């Protein structure tokens, strides 16, 4: 996909956030890396969604240099740069990223609680609990807030040995969720799924304060039937 096509796709994905009810005001953005990983196309900072066109998208190099665009890129750009530098080592195909402040997922982030896998809906999209990062230190916030947000995401996945393809999302403690996928569109789908399972988990806790997590064999069955070499859910040509 060339840069003009990528601008079209990223603009459409940003507008999908609005369509799915995942953003309020300008609280969110989508970006996607080029196939070679040498440039990121991302929403401009603070621009209202109703004014977005492909022309407004900003192209950024891995070092943060603006390559194309008249606007400043999203303030979350350093987070995306840091996370993709980690992905690029073993998961270079995870090129799409999304950040929102969707209500239920953000509530879990503010509570600084991971979202446990309580049922099969969760298991269809996330192979286990959605993790939460540690909070940033005062020095980390002062030094490089957005970049260090990316670093604690990487830190969490590295410390737990998590597969970012199998768990395509995270909660930044006290902040909000981030999701990713093999395209901007797929990252938005994962943001939709994350918000849905976050809301379901909240309602489950309202019904009962104590209950078991989903059985591991059910988790494995539901995840594997949609993902991986033995997937059989849906039509073969549409499986990813």
From the list 63, 84, 124, 232, the catalytic residue is: 124
Tokens of 128: 């286990």
Please compute, for residue 37, the number of CA atoms within 13 A of its CA located in the half-sphere on the CB side: 17
Which residue carries 């022309």 as its tokens? Answer: 55
Cα(75)–Cα(72) distance, rounded to whole angstroms?
8
Strands (E), the chain: 28-33, 40-42, 58-60, 66-68, 96-100, 169-171, 177-181
Cα(231)–Cα(68) distance, rounded to whole angstroms?
40
Catalytic, 124? Answer yes
From the list 35, 38, 163, 233, the catalytic residue is: 233
The strand pairing partners of 29, in sequence order, are: 99
Q: Report the run of H or E that residue 49 belongs to, with start and end.
A: none
Catalytic, 76? Answer no
Tokens of 222: 């539901």
What is the set of active-site residues?
A: 124, 233
């Amino acid at each position: 996909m060339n840069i003009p096509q990528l601008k079209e796709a990223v603009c459409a994905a940003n507008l999908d956030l609005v369509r799915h009810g995942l953003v309020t005001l300008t609280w969110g953005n989508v970006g996607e890396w080029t196939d070679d990983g040498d440039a990121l196309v991302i929403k401009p900072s603070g621009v209202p969604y109703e004014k977005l066109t492909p022309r407004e998208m900003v192209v950024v190099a891995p070092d943060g240099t603006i390559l194309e665009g008249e606007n400043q890129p999203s303030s979350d750009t350093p987070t995306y740069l840091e996370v993709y530098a980690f992905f690029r080592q073993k998961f270079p195909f995870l090129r799409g990223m999304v950040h929102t402040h969707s209500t239920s997922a953000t509530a879990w982030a503010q509570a600084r609680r991971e979202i446990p896998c309580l049922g099969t809906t969760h298991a269809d999209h996330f192979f286990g609990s959605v993790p939460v990062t540690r909070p940033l230190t005062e020095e980390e916030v002062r030094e490089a807030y957005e970049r260090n947000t990316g670093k604690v995401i990487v830190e969490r996945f590295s410390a737990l040995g998590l597969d970012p393809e199998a768990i395509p999302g995270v909660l930044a403690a006290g902040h909000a969720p981030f999701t990713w996928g093999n395209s901007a569109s797929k990252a938005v789908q994962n943001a939709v799924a994350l918000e849905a399972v976050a809301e379901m988990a909240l309602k489950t806790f309202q019904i009962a304060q104590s209950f078991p997590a989903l059985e591991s064999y059910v988790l494995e069955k539901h995840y594997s039937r949609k993902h991986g070499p033995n997937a059989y859910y849906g039509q073969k040509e549409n499986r990813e």
